[in-house]
Amino acid sequence: MTHTFWLVVLGFVVATNPFHRRPALPLNDRPRQNAHAQVAIGAALTIGVLGVLAALGPTVLEALNISVPNGRIAAGLIVIASALVQLFRAPGWDRVYDTAQPDSAPAPQGSTAALTPIFFPVLLRPELAILALVGGADVGWGPVAAAVLIAMALLVGWVVLARIGHWTTRFERSFDRLACIGLVLLGIDQIVDGILAV
Amino acid sequence: MSGSEIASPTAAQKRLSQRFTPRTWKGRLIGGLAVWALVATVFRLAVVPTEHCGPGIDLTEAEVMAAAGRSVDWLVDNQNQNGSWLYRYHRSDDEDLGGYNLVRHAGLLVSLYQADRAGFDGAREAADSGMDFVLDRLVDTGDGGQSFGPTDGLNRVGGAALAVAGLVERREHTGDDRYDDVMMSFGRFMEGQVTETGSVNGDWDPATGAAVPDSFSQFYTGEVFWALARLHTIFPDQGWDAPTERIMRYVAEDRDRVEPWFPDIPDHWAAYAMAEMARWPEYRNGDRAFSDAALAYATRQAQFQSVQIRYESQRTNSLISHYTRGRQTLGAGLGTIGEATDALWRFSERRPEWDVDRTVLRERTLCTASVLVERQVDDREALTFPNPTASKGAWFQFEITQMDDQQHSLSALIEVIPVIRDEVPQ
């Protein structure tokens, strides 16, 4: 885990990747305000779970007999795998942008959507979970919880502010790819850090 | 908003999305759970299996002493009349596989004199007998120098170096000066093998009466480094510090580039040497200091040893472990990790300016010792083999043990005792 707070924040922002998540969220099939509230609730749940994982990080790694450096290597590999999947697979685009096609997998109506699909599986991702676990054991619960909070706030902010149009979509796709590349770099950093740790 | 106005995903992305995106949110939920389960399983099995550190930081001195005692017994019981040892042995076939290595012979002197210092009966007698074997094979190298090796072939400087390292151990523990002249003559030979840059010629040729230029060795450089450092500890007025510091600079700054080695050599002998230098009064009273490059080198060494034991401790020889981690390493390989981490821990305690996480370094050190204890053949397991005397207290791979498996492992166990006690010998 990178040892400066802002690098931790950057790591969680690119791992959260608001530009990749927003298209996968159920935003178009319900009133805008309801959709935003459900995303905010899903984000709050994610913050809570990741915060708990960060707090449990040292205990969990110890129980599994995994040293923090080896945890970093695992986190790096998961992060890279996730970034590569995201680079080559765009789960939301075919459904959200191509209005000629109906939503292939409509989300449940009402507040249930905050739990699923928003909280899980869209926002709570394996790469975030392992970053929180290892980060909690490495740099402590506080910095990780703060970083998750900032990352989720950015996601909710982007969901609320984004007005989908030609340029927004291009911007979103470009930054999605940038975030994926950032995620790969983060993964490499984690692996190198883990290998070179004492 | 029209779809035609908006940049579309690539064809490849669309194909992948259509193939893998579930048709319902329930499907997506199940898919998500399946992904989590798959990731967790694959990573637990293949990426972060359990690090089997046994008791780890709770390892007791009694456990270590018991294991070291078994190892000393092996060395006492399997010593030949002429002071040499059973070299390679197949436990299931009860077969002496033959061969011998003089440098490793000298290495056993180190281990046994260390064991003698730790209070193991019989260790000094066995080592002295091994020393007699050395004295029968001294070769005059000129200028008052002597080597330990054959008269009709290349002499490896590592033999003299490890003999010195062992004899200094003996001298410090017993105060007996009977081998002082031999140590000094070995020292002169070693000094002649050290070049102006600090590199060490590993071989000396009796036919030419000279060092073989650029005969670099992965091990001898560190062995000479340590031996000269030890000589300066007990003979501080003989000038052994100059070649020692030349080697340290070379090892820390140039060796891996010049010789070249990639990745850098994990050098437990250099770790011993730096821990020894940290005892010198010049470093303890602040007259001299380790350079930033030397401290950075110590850090790199700690990193190498750490990643090795973190990896090695994951190996169980089970089917999955075999295919994802490979077979368990040799006893000698594991022992050298232990020797290095022991020495680096001593160095860290003696030199507070070395910026390293001492708690973590201690954890790695105790993990290595725990793995050594667990993998040693104990009394009960030894009874399952045809010759328990040649099996008990040894470390085997593919049914075979070699005497340096005991050498490095025993040294690692002896030197971990201060780590367990958390008290640094000065």
Its ipTM equals 0.86
CA dihedral B380, B381, B384, B389 (to 10 degrees): -80
Nearest CB neighbour to B51, from listed A67, A120, A166: A67
CB A126 to CB B9 under 8 A? no
The per-residue pLDDT for range B173-222, each reduced to its tens digit, is: 999 999 999 999 999 999 999 999 999 999 999 999 999 999 999 999 99
Whether the predicted pLDDT of B1 surpasses 90? no
Q: Cβ contacts (< 8 Å) between B52 and chain A: which residues?
A: 65
Average pLDDT, chain B: 93
Q: Cβ contacts (< 8 Å) between B17 and chain A: which residues?
A: 89-91, 93-94
Mark which residues 11-30 of B lie under 8 Å from A by CB.
Answer: 12-14, 16-18, 20-25, 27-29
A117 — contact with chain B (CB < 8 Å)?
yes
Residue of B19, B24, B28 to mutate for A, most A C-beta atoms under 10 A: B28
Which of these ranges, A116-120, B76-80, B146-150, B398-402, has the smallest mean pLDDT? Answer: A116-120
Which of these ranges, A43-57, A87-101, B290-304, has the smallest mean pLDDT? Answer: A87-101
A104 — contact with chain B (CB < 8 Å)?
yes
Q: Pick the residue with more confidence: B116 or A173?
A: B116
CB A89 to CB B17 under 8 A? yes
Model confidence at B28, pLDDT cuts 50, 70, 90, reads confident
Whether the predicted pLDDT of A1 surpasses 80? no
The confidence score (pLDDT) of residue B13 equals: 60
The mean pLDDT of B362-386, rounded to a whole number, is 97
The confidence score (pLDDT) of residue B2 equals: 37
The confidence score (pLDDT) of residue B4 equals: 37
Taking residue B77's Cβ as centre, other Cβ atoms within 10 Å add up to 16
The mean pLDDT of B79-106, rounded to a whole number, is 97
HEC sequence for chain B = CCHHHCCCCCHHHHHHHHHHCCCCHHHHHHHHHHHHHHHHHHHHHHHCCCCCCCCHHHCCHHHHHHHHHHHHHHHHHCECCCCCECCEEECCCCEECCCCCHHHHHHHHHHHHHHHHCCCCCHHHHHHHHHHHHHCCEEEEECCEEEECCCCCCEEHHHHHHHHHHHHHHHHHHCCCCCHHHHHHHHHHHHHHECCCCCECCEEECCCCEECCCCCCCCHHHHHHHHHHHHHHHCCCCCCHHHHHHHHHHHHHCHHHHCCCCCCCCCHHHHHHHHHHCCCHHHHCCCCCCCHHHHHHHHHHHHHHHHHHHHHCCCCCCHHHHHHHCCCCCHHHHHHHHHHHHHHHHHHHHCCCCCCCHHHHHHHHHHHHHHHHHHCCCHHHHCCCCCHHHHCCCCCECCEEEHHHHHHHHHHHHHHHHHHHCCCCC
Task: Please name the residue of chain B whose CA is at the shortest distance from the CA of residue A164.
Answer: B1
Q: Cβ contacts (< 8 Å) between B6 and chain A: which residues?
A: 97, 164-166, 169
Residue of B5, B8, B10, B17 to mutate for A, most A C-beta atoms under 10 A: B17
Model confidence at B93, pLDDT cuts 50, 70, 90, reads very high
B9 — contact with chain A (CB < 8 Å)?
yes
Q: Cβ contacts (< 8 Å) between A169 and chain B: which residues?
A: 6-7
The confidence score (pLDDT) of residue B53 equals: 95
The mean pLDDT of A35-41, rounded to a whole number, is 96
A106 — contact with chain B (CB < 8 Å)?
yes
Nearest CB neighbour to B3, from listed A91, A97, A170: A97
Query: How far B418 CA lies from chain A's nearest CA (Å)?
Result: 20
CB A78 to CB B310 under 8 A? no
Mark which residues 45-84 of B lie under 8 Å from A by CB.
Answer: 47-48, 50-53
Query: How large a percentage of chain B has pLDDT more than 90?
Result: 86
Q: Cβ contacts (< 8 Å) between B302 and chain A: which residues?
A: 198
Mark which residues 362-381 of B lie under 8 Å from A by CB.
Answer: 363-364
Model confidence at B96, pLDDT cuts 50, 70, 90, reads very high
The confidence score (pLDDT) of residue A105 equals: 61
CB B25 to CB A105 under 8 A? yes
Whether the predicted pLDDT of B370 surpasses 90? yes
The per-residue pLDDT for range A103-155, each reduced to its tens digit, is: 556 778 778 899 988 999 899 999 999 999 999 999 999 999 999 999 999 99
Long-range contacts of B233-242 (CB under 8 A, 24+ apart): B233/B168, B233/B172, B233/B276, B233/B279, B233/B280, B234/B168, B234/B171, B234/B172, B235/B183, B235/B184, B235/B187, B236/B280, B236/B281, B238/B184, B238/B187, B240/B187, B240/B191, B241/B280, B241/B282
The confidence score (pLDDT) of residue B17 equals: 58
**CB pairs A-B closer than 8 Å:** 121
CB B16 to CB A170 under 8 A? no
Is there a contact between A11 and A77 (Cβ–Cβ < 8 Å)? no
